[in-house]
Structure 1
Amino acid sequence: MKGITEALRSGTRLAEDYVCSREAARGLYEYDIRWESGLHTRAEWLDQSENTRIPRQSLAEYLRIYNKRVNDHGAVHESITRLAEQDALVVTGGQQSGLLTGPLFVIYKAASVVAAAREAENRLQRPVVPVFWIAGEDHDWDEVNHTYLPDSNGEMKKLKLQGRFAGRDSVSYVHVEMEQWTNVLDQLEHLLPDTVHKSGLMKLITEIHQSSSNLSDAFARLISALFGSSGLILMDAADPDLRRLEQPVFERLIRENGTLRQAYAQGASALEQAGYAMPAEVAEDGANLFYIHEGARLLLMLKDGLYSDRKGLVSFTEERLLQELAEHPEQFSNNVLTRPLMQDSILPVAAVILGQGEIAYWGLTREAFDRFGLQMPILLPRLSFTIMEDAHHKHMKQYGLSFQDVQYHMEEKKEQWLAQQETFQVDEQFERVQQAFADLYRPLLDQIAEIHPGLDRIGDTNVGKISEQMQYLQQQTHKAIKDKHNVSLRHWNGMQNSLFPMNKPQERVHNALFYLNRYGTEWIGQLIESQSEFRGQHEVITL
């Protein structure tokens, strides 16, 4: 596997500035992106604050039960045993559960967690285990119920779980029937080309979905199949058993809610003063917690001493809310601002792997970490890749295109290439004829208008119709030229759909199964083995 560094258009300016270590962003984070310099400092702080987190043995016991069900690998159980040791640290990261794992970047994020844990262990000379959060508590079903794969012509096709889910329940609680899985698997069977890997891959995916009743379990089992042998521990943020462990942390989040709201407001103010757009809502009356009520995940607000949702479906005093937490901890969940605090309250996090959007909203949390008696961990940008297949690489050379041309100038370059293929200059020729027509016809119209005023209107209509017909013929000429070069245009479209489908980076659209079907699974291990630096760079790789 070979890689070449190429710039990729990114998400937010704040994340860009953090990745580039620009001065404006530095004050919003605890550590610089040059993580090696802060790693030992972070480890010392975690040692000193050991008693502030959930007891390791309780956490390990929960992780053994959950991973036994969806991630039953010897290497994973070994990681959990290591995590139970007093000096073990964690590199973590997470993602929503997506259909068939979702876009490629999810695979890259999991690979980043494993690679960074290995590198941290090498640098610290102490156990560092990889832990991957599944954000099953999120409730945006329409965001996770589909994925994309190319068809035989390279056009992107959307695979989607049939059936409409209109509620706001956590994704992990949405039941998926076998008929729905079968529909997706049939589409997948049709889309994946025949390769030496297809039979085994389809068998694995079918078995996984036959044993899964929700999207999060299927997601976990697929991630396990790809990363279990690397010792990657999984945990579902929506798991009721985990909620019971987290109950003391939720209690603190409620009791100290006023202090935390002030902290997030300070974070927002600091971010705005530094000149950045707001990456997440920081509502003045926001409690930054969700409560699950009758299958709906409701964002709580705090006003006049009452915790309630915007629609008034629930309302609690602090005392009543704490009582509800004691009796039903599974009905509480974090939002994007309190999730980092929860993570560091249960795991000894040396570093966390984040996408650019996540890096941006973490810029709001430094003051909240401090008020909560925590310290923001080291933030590492996830690994980022574009897979370049041989055919598209050959076509880029054939048409003289760079990666940046495909990213930013594809349509312009294609039209230039088309124009160069024909000596007949379509637009210039038609423009010349239209001008000649106007020069000859206009004087005639002026003369006949003197014969009768009504002829002027008829003449203008006549000019319009003739102009329309010439424009139509011009369009048909362009189409004929494109049809003449149809094979080459398929090359152009193939490059676009492979590298920047739907005008987005490949890693944000393509599903990994296309590449797993073509190349097997070894390339994922190669990605992990080849990475030791996390500087937010993007690489174009060939497999």
Structure 2
Amino acid sequence: MKQGVHHIPYSETGFFSQLVADFLAEHPSIRPFYQYSPVKPDFEAAIRAKSTQPLDRELLVKALTVQYSQLEQDEQVKANIQLLGQADTYSVCTAHQPNIFTGYLYFICKILQTIKLAGELTAQFPGKHFVPVYYMGSEDADLDELGSIYLGNEKLTWKTDQAGAVGRMKTDGLQPMIDGIMKHVGYGPHAAELKEMLDEAYLHHENIQEATLYLVNRLFGRYGLVVLVPDTPLFKQQIKHVLKEELWQQSSYKVVSATTEKILQHHKVQASPREINLFYLQEGSRERIVKEGEVWKVLHTNVEFNEQSLKREIDEHPERFSPNVILRGILQETILPNIAFIGGGGEIAYWVELKALFGHHNVPYPVLLLRNSFLWVDKFSAERLQKLNISITEFFQETELLINSFVLKHTNANLVLKKEYDDIEILFAQMETKAKSIDVTLVASVNAELKKAMKSLGKIEHKFLRAEKKKFAWQSEQIRQLKARLFPGNSLQERRENFLPYYAEHGPAFFDRLLEALTPVTDKFCVITEEA
């Protein structure tokens, strides 16, 4: 099976924020808030900066070895974990919450982009090694976001009354969802393999982060991807000094607030800092920490600390303290020898708030890259596009605008009344001249009548188009169906669909095809067209 690949500038898709467009264009309104160019990054400078940061590589290897001890590992994963212990090894990282069954397609894309960039950097810098890392945001507590997937037009949701960090939730009650998944994808040539994988991940592992670790390793271990679960004492103890400063001095609130005030002059702010940007993790809960007088309280619980007991808690149980988005990156970049971080538009929006905070904590700020976005045009859709003689680029328009353009392009009738508009303007220009010669106050009346005439002509033009569209009813319906297929829910395919149907159809080769098509550093949207 062959595929065609072409690219569209993000700014021309209509699906990305102005901040993302300005970030890629390095516009002066946002450029001061990140370190390296996102389209021509200086990786060599990022490597130099990271090489000066003290890192506990021995602890990193130890923690990852423990984490992987119960998993069957690809040899390349084993090798990459050991490489992370060497001073000439750096990581390329993406992060995401443990959405059940991986959530949206862009989860897959972020990981593949990370893998490809690590490979390209290894070739670009002989003598150095680059390891792709998926950093699991398993402490996220938003089950409404993480607990559902879409297959076709059906939303499948995990029915559970558990609360707290999703990664720590027990995998109980996921069998019905797996059954529902197989009703959708059970016909595919790789369906049996897929079912065995999902069963093993979600029915034979205790919690969601262990299930996600298994599944992501099973899918991407052959590429050498290393999965890092930060919810462990070994990792959290590395930022105990950050935790203490946050709880006693609230420095991140002051530093980030100063940045967000500047960003707000041109853009919306993605994440607003709190006075304390930490949660307290317990079984079944993840609640904010607030300070009241000389006491630190955990909201919606009976847990509270004085100065002495809080210091003891941090020293003995740092894993119970969970950073929010303001501090999460500090933990990530303290653990890893990381030089590049790949994130979506929302992640870019809050990472640009953090550059000054990284400087405050003496943590090098990485190369910040927008994740790749792609549209997969299957063979059926490609054939329909060809029959309709419409380019995929045109499909980024709104549906009715697309249909109007199609009708205007293919009709034999003259639906655009350009000559009539010109004639009316000439007529009213003559009347305006005559009005001025009679009484200058009449000019306003002439102009008012011109506006009415133009509006009436527009209504007639619209009726002409509507009548002509009836002759293209079949093609219009085909366009609507194709638009719904390629842009489900009027959104990008990657923001709605899941990888499962694609895997059931193509197996691991689906990832190979994406990997081949993706460009790790780019300012363009990728369209991948399946060909016979």
Q: Same fold (TM over 0.5)?
A: yes
Residue 237 of structure 1 aligns with which residue?
Answer: 230
Q: Once the two structures are superposed, what CA deviation does each residue of 1:290-349 show, in whole Å capped at 9, x if it has no partner?
A: 112452211223454543345574433444322111222221111001011111111111
Distance 1:355 1:242, change over 3 A: farther
Question: How far 1:535 sits from its partner (Å)?
Answer: 2.0
Count of aligned pairs between the two proteins:
468
Distance 1:33 1:416, change over 3 A: closer
Residue 171 of structure 1 aligns with which residue?
Answer: 166
Q: Distance in 2 between matches of 1:22 and 1:416?
A: 33
Q: Distance in 1 between matches of 2:201 and 2:410?
A: 51
Find out whether 1:267 has 2:272 as its counterpart. Answer: no
Query: Any gaps of 5 or more consecutive residues in structure 1?
Result: 151-155, 424-477
- What amino acid is aligned across from residue 118 of structure 1 in structure 2? G
Contact 1:266 1:367 in 2 (8 A): no
Contact 2:343 2:371 in 1 (8 A): yes
The correspondence of residues 370-519 of structure 1 with structure 2, limited to 5 A, is 370-414=359-403, 491-519=478-506
Contact 2:244 2:311 in 1 (8 A): no
Question: How far 1:526 sits from its partner (Å)?
Answer: 3.5
Distance 1:197 1:491, change over 3 A: farther
The correspondence of residues 276-425 of structure 1 with structure 2, limited to 5 A, is 276-283=267-274, 286-293=275-282, 295-302=284-291, 304-309=293-298, 311=300, 313-414=302-403
Residue 23 of structure 1 aligns with which residue?
Answer: 28
- What amino acid is aligned across from residue 382 of structure 1 in structure 2? R
Question: How far 1:404 sits from its partner (Å)?
Answer: 4.4
Q: CA RMSD in A?
A: 2.8
- What amino acid is aligned across from residue 262 of structure 1 in structure 2? K
Distance 1:256 1:396, change over 3 A: farther
Find out whether 1:218 has 2:215 as its counterpart. Answer: no
When structure 1 is superposed on structure 2, of 100-109 and 260-269 the one drifting more is: 260-269
Q: Distance in 2 between matches of 1:420 and 1:376?
A: 50
Q: Distance in 2 between matches of 1:522 and 1:336?
A: 34
Residue 422 of structure 2 aligns with which residue?
Answer: none
Distance 1:232 1:397, change over 3 A: same
Contact 1:89 1:129 in 2 (8 A): yes
TM-score under structure 2 length normalisation? 0.81
Contact 1:254 1:322 in 2 (8 A): no
- What amino acid is aligned across from residue 296 of structure 1 in structure 2? S
Residue 80 of structure 1 aligns with which residue?
Answer: 81
Contact 1:149 1:158 in 2 (8 A): yes
TM-score under structure 1 length normalisation? 0.79
Q: Once the two structures are superposed, what CA deviation does each residue of 1:55-90 show, in whole Å capped at 9, x if it has no partner?
A: 111110110121233462221111001111122111
1:147 to 146, 149, 167: 149
Q: Distance in 1 between matches of 2:118 and 2:241?
A: 25
Distance 1:142 1:42, change over 3 A: same
Equivalent position SS for 2:174: helix
Contact 2:381 2:482 in 1 (8 A): yes
Question: How far 1:173 sits from its partner (Å)?
Answer: 1.5
Q: Distance in 2 between matches of 1:66 and 1:266?
A: 38
Contact 1:96 1:144 in 2 (8 A): yes
Contact 2:287 2:298 in 1 (8 A): yes
Distance 1:413 1:34, change over 3 A: closer
Question: How far 1:11 sits from its partner (Å)?
Answer: 4.1
Find out whether 1:157 has 2:154 as its counterpart. Answer: yes
Residue 135 of structure 1 aligns with which residue?
Answer: 137
Distance 1:533 1:59, change over 3 A: closer
Contact 2:98 2:209 in 1 (8 A): yes
Q: Distance in 1 between matches of 2:150 and 2:477?
A: 19
Question: How far 1:514 sits from its partner (Å)?
Answer: 0.9
Q: Distance in 2 between matches of 1:265 and 1:305?
A: 24
Q: Distance in 2 between matches of 1:537 and 1:529?
A: 16
